[in-house]
Amino acid sequence: MKRRQIVVAGCAVLAITASGVLALQAQAEENEQPQNQEGDEVELVVNGSFDDGLNGGWWSTGNVTMDVVDGRLCAQIPGGTVNPWDAIVGQNNIPLTQGSSYTFSFEASGDPGGQVRGVVGLAVEPFTAYFALSSPLTPTTVEFGQSFLAAETTTQGQVAFQVGGSADPWTFCLDNVSLLGAPGEGYQPDTGPRVRVNQVAYLPRGPKNATLVTEATEPLPWELVDAAGTVVASGTTTPRGVDATSGQHVHSIDFSGWTGAGTGFTLRADGETSHPFDIDGSAYAQLRQDALKFYYTQRSGIEILDSLRPGYGRPAGHLGVAPNQGDTAVGCPAEYPAGGGPGCDYTLDVSGGWYDAGDHGKYVVNGGISVHQLMSAFERSKVAATGTPAAFADGTLNLPESGNGVPDILDEARWELEFLLSMQVPPGKPFAGMAHHKVHDDDWTGLPLLPHLDPQPRHLHKPSTAATLNLAATAAQCARLYAPYDAAFAQRCLTAARTAWNAAKANPAIYATVADGTGGGPYDDDFAEDEFYWAAAELYITTGEQEFADFIHASPMHNTDVFRPEGFDWKWTAALGRLELATIPNGLPDRDGIRASVLAGAQKYLDAIEAHPYGLPYAPSSGLFDWGSNNLIINNMIVLASAYDISGDVRYRDAVLEGINYIFGRNALNQSYVTGYGEKSSQNQHSRWYAHQLNPALPNPPVGTLAGGPNSSIQDPIAQALLQGCAPQFCYIDDIESWSTNELTINWNAPLSWISAFIADQGDGTPPAAPDCSVEYLNHGQWPGHFIAQVNIENTGSTTINGWELAWSFLGDQKIIQLWSGDLTQDGARVTVKNLSWNAKIRPRETVTFGFIATTSGANPEPSLLTLNGRPCTVV
């Protein structure tokens, strides 16, 4: 849903826009977001003509099936119900003002007949009806209309059609629903206390910053209070003036000097007390798991077991079990949409993979960056000084595959990789070797709708160069990461990557267009140089072959500043190639320059954090927030984290620790954007099956699910009705129908997974001590399928090492078959060598040596991280 380019027409949005509802104006006394002002009579029902399908917030009780037929909403009403409210069709979020006059009208029919009770009332308990109009219906359409006065003021009004109480099933059809009247007092977000903090946790020895919203122009006192009510630290605020992204007058609070740990802390300033928070070095370890566990419940083509995710169990979706038409044999339309030419003459089994977002579509370009970042999080654990491979070990995510000897994160990534591989055009067919851009329903479906109940026909969409290069990049990465665990799958990935690479070079300019957006997001992209660069980087790292090194150096991306103020995403992937070349061991001769470019990019985000009163590593050149701003913000933090991994400069690490505060509540809305984390967290992200807001029998999104976040373009009807004129940080509403500000997606949880793992790896925030050992890893020679290496360990400290264990991870399928002067353990890519009895002691400035012979089939760069007794050594 999140990439639809829909221009919403109709009097509701036009009238509200014209009247200046939510117009940007001077801030109120506490400098919160300006809100709706009363104006002339406006249309309060969104999409009452159903010209935009069922969008706009139309919902029904779980026993009613809705569709749009001949421009009308037609609902199948079950028989055997007793009360009118046993079956309902309606729309929420209707603002009403006490004493104002409203005119309620609609057209309805019933076949063979039925009874309708049209209600304007309260959408929450006690469900007060302010006005009701009842009438029997026949197959002949009848127009209804009447005026009334609102009994109270609310932003939680509702237009509902109660159609239960019939012994027999019938069809209820509805059109031209209208509620004309005063726009109400408007949407007023609950921003809570004016002291804005990270509602989850700060690291004890990391930076700790907060923001105070206040009219005061002079410094104010603040106090840090523990759970017992004791003031443990105090100081004065720093006035920062007006924050352009919120329009608020703000002060900064820095309480980094307090290093004690605990739970239930609060900050007090200017008569306000913040939401509670912890100071805890282990707080992000659970988020690392929760953010990754999200992917299991997004799986297509497999039953989700309630025993593994209590409350989220459901049947397998899109396996061809009625009413599904299935993904096991999907073909192409006779003509690809948007002038794409004739469709294909084959079908593909594209079952499996992850549902992309809140809809049932599956997209190669979004799947590509998502699965890449999961694999990148795992690969970082092998090469970064603070990486912890055990955090991703087999059994850590409670998956159906747990216990198979493969790291769980790779098991989850493989579910998507198999889907990406299945989207490749077969040999002998037009565009052979390319990847189909996407597969999804032929038309948009309404909410809620569980995947296994989706009745829509589905088709493959035309191959694209971008999708093909996403396949090439992720399959090349797959080849090196899976080689130690499943050599056959790794080889299959590498073959697919090479095939896709060659197909993309043969078809370098086949683009997805914005016009192909019916039933699924278009993911349009008319520039592929960034995808070529990323794919070449992954293929070079995996194979070490000169062809890919030459392509990298010839690419216009190689000498481009790829780290934009807006950040990177599925449409701008050059940054992925640059980060991979900088952080993953490889033999590119100008790698020092590549690493320097990452530090330069990170410096821009560091500067943005220091300049922003809310500590945001995000300063888009337009001054506006983009769709999925939260994911862009976190991706900028990934650049900062990578700079820390490269340089060890703690300023970059601290910038990450400050930037994450915004995601967890240090923002204008005082809102944590991750479900289940923080005192006030998002819980109604746009989804067809995590739809508790519409159907109480369904769950909210799983704990650890990231919301898209503020979006200045507010493309959906709910946001347009409530947020017109919003300052960037205020362009968000936690409503299931706000797909432009509040969707969940696989490519938004991917960077959350990556960055939460990075933060969890920092422990209590104490910077690592300087290494007291150095390691020289020497590749002495290579012949087909084998190499011989020597490792020298020097004690650079001042005390004797009495017993040692050296550990590292190979990049690919290297397997040691003979080792001398040490005791070997190898588990997949992970290698541990322990001392023998005669070489256990390493005195200061002394060196011990061991050597080995190993097999390998791909690139064989020297490891960049070797740890002695658990601590990183300097690699020489």
Residues 6+ apart with CB under 8 A from 760: 282, 284, 285, 287, 288, 388, 391
Residues 6+ apart with CB under 8 A from 267: 195, 197, 210, 222, 223, 224, 225, 253, 255, 273, 274
Q: Which of 318, 360, 436, 686 is catalytic?
A: 686
Under DSSP, is residue 546 helix (H, G, I), strand (E, B) or coil? helix
How far is the C-alpha of 624 from the C-alpha of 245, rounded, in Å? 8
Q: Are 10 and 748 in contact (CB under 8 A)?
A: no
Nearest of 71, 106, 110 to residue 90 by alpha carbon: 106
Q: Which of 394, 408, 645, 743 is catalytic?
A: 743
Say which DSSP state 27 is in. -
Roughly what angle, to the nearest 10 degrees, separates helices 529-543 and 465-482? 20
How far is the C-alpha of 33 from the C-alpha of 216, rounded, in Å? 17
Q: E strand or H helix at 283, and its extent?
A: helix 283-297
442 is catalytic: no
Q: Is the dihedral of CA 468, 469, 475, 476 positive or negative?
A: positive
Q: Which of 43, 359, 454, 645 is catalytic?
A: 359
Q: Are 599 and 647 in contact (CB under 8 A)?
A: yes
How far is the C-alpha of 574 from the C-alpha of 557, rounded, in Å? 7
* CB contact burial 725-747 (16+ within 10 A = b; e otherwise): bbbbbbbbbbbbbbbbbbbbbbb
Q: Which of 454, 734, 737, 794 is catalytic?
A: 734
Which single residue is written with the structure tokens 């703000």? 250
How far is the C-alpha of 431 from the C-alpha of 39, rounded, in Å? 57
743 is catalytic: yes
Nearest of 296, 210, 190 to residue 253 by alpha carbon: 210
Under DSSP, is residue 184 helix (H, G, I), strand (E, B) or coil? coil
686 is catalytic: yes
For the stretch 374-377, contacts whose Cβ atoms lie closer than 8 Å and that sit 24 or more positions apart, written own/partner, are 374/292, 374/295, 374/409, 374/412, 374/413, 374/750, 374/753, 374/754, 375/409, 375/410, 375/413, 375/474, 375/477, 375/478, 375/481, 376/477, 376/579, 376/580, 376/754, 377/409, 377/753, 377/754, 377/757
**Beta-bridge mates of residue 792:** 776, 849
Q: E strand or H helix at 310, and its extent?
A: none
547 is catalytic: no
- Active centre residues (catalytic): 359, 686, 734, 743
